[in-house]
Structure 1
């Protein structure tokens, strides 16, 4: 038995996934000899920064390449002569480039006029040619927009190991007619919450027809806690309800609310759960149930669940919506006590006129910002807000330029929407409810999501 001496040379191997009939063409798919040399040198010196890409169309600048993975090896490079069969050990292979990733989807850009202009001008890096690049401003059909492809189509680079088995969350059920079908056994439970907008002719007086007549025992326990709350007052925010029921009922609250209340999708009572049959648009007493929304970035140091009460001194990170009746801050309460009201409920302003309501929002916003930043609110900043004129949007349909400038900051900061915008919101919410009804339980066969039996189980 003959022995071969292994030389001290070290090599980097490249496993090309294609059938190489030409070494020159194979090197071209890897970027050329210079690119291969740079990758192998980096593999020997700094393996983490070694990069090698495979492009089956080297001349296509927009092809999505396959990334190689550098892996440690412990192989020997042997040269065997065909004529005499002599073998020679050239050295050790310590690193190797492997192409194990899935190839990305490809997009043919040969017919793209825009990318042709990019290649003929910008990519030349020629001083005289680059200024010739232009972007066409002519309108184009949406179906034939000439836009460049994204750098990556799919983020999945490793094939899933599923062994040709059915999804474990999919099962077979029997239908009343004797047939069977595959369904999703882990689908989200359905919650049939009735949502309406300010343009609704009447409010719901009973629960959705799809809500089951008799709730299960867990939901019944939650309903026992909700009953006194809606007797105390007819409208609540979700945060207000959570703060007044036991912690054990929090996870099942969404299943119980459709039995006793409906939800306002937009308008001055937005996101307020309302007792069936109660219409806050009929009586000005309901003005105190209007909701106020605020968006602000909370400091990471602030923690806690949050309260539905606004006292002006405590920040609750999870609270973004307040009902007027839950405001205890003395300054804000004084502004609301003598606030002018509409004779009828306005579709966007509610019962309160927008001038005073916007001022209330601005005061609360300044206080929330100060609490978020961990600072004391200056009297100067507060006095500027209080001294600002109150302008009612519903009474000034055509404001002058001066008036518009004086109130634009309040409109922008408070997010106050006009009637047309609110009508659009109502329409969008109705369409949303038709397309994605929230759902309840899985006791009915129709509540399952159906799957195609591709495996013939």
Structure 2
């Protein structure tokens, strides 16, 4: 037996109330025009307010869920002669979407003012106590005629101040919170009794990193606490610190991603790098060498050769490039972090025969969080070349790590400046804008060529 379903499609709405007047119920949902807009959009939420005529009434929103249901019309027929009752069911259509109002209404605060009973000429006595009386001034709040001057509106006599927030609460779903007694632990200290802050405050983590803005004096040595933090660790950690020191002697300015990749270690904790770096370099937060680590005693503003280490903040802005590169938001940091101490067993050194080449796919393999692997971490976090593409929408590159002919020629050309500029450093004006345009052009060419080669192989 074959049967066909009707082609009519319905949207089910579970109204949070008893509907006695269908027209009034449609008005609370914004009217038929608003309902059509909501039904035609998958992402739009259904807005419901029980006082649609008042602008200050807070609504509740309904979310839809996809479903595969049938809309059935059932009739109960009764034979007048025999009294037999018969049920007749008919399928009138299908329901593909159901709207639920599981949220709570926001706090309602209307334009009402409490007034005394004497204001209305009522007399009060012990047998007839005064009743709370409220005055509605909603009509006085509305600007009924177009006007550019609000002085007359603001100077209206007997107009109470009514400035409610757009939302009283950001959440429309109830949440569970279990209150528990506070325990005093060694990492908390009690504040003063007369303080208005939280009664317990966590101790600040000690950080010995030195931040140097552009133009500030360059420190010659690290903070004593930074050196003590390194020497107090195990043998493997001190050996890793020695390798970091050798890299800074070879190259005075490093980004953290490039430094970690150049270390010949199999496992390097993120926390270990944060402890070691302040002992051998200072951090530059701004200027031409922004967000890199510079060796103590080295001032890039005095050496024109340091222009190769200047930074370019590159962002993949074109949506088609983001789609081709499968970029979504920032680079995942979970593969580079793991909570642990700096014990020597956390660090393992590689042999001299270990290679540092990695394919781009390892950055997106989706494995469980592991410590940073210098021999397996992709070069796309700091190197821009034909074989190393960005793995995030925003990446900080150093000029020496941008492998395109125009940038190589730009760095090989003589220095045109006599003094270091606070924005462009030792490079020509607008060099960052020029390099970004070149990088985008090369990246589009490389991605198209890669897609064509993949399609030809298929």
Higher relative contact order (CA 8 A, sep 6+): 1
TM-score using structure 1 length: 0.50
TM-score using structure 2 length: 0.50
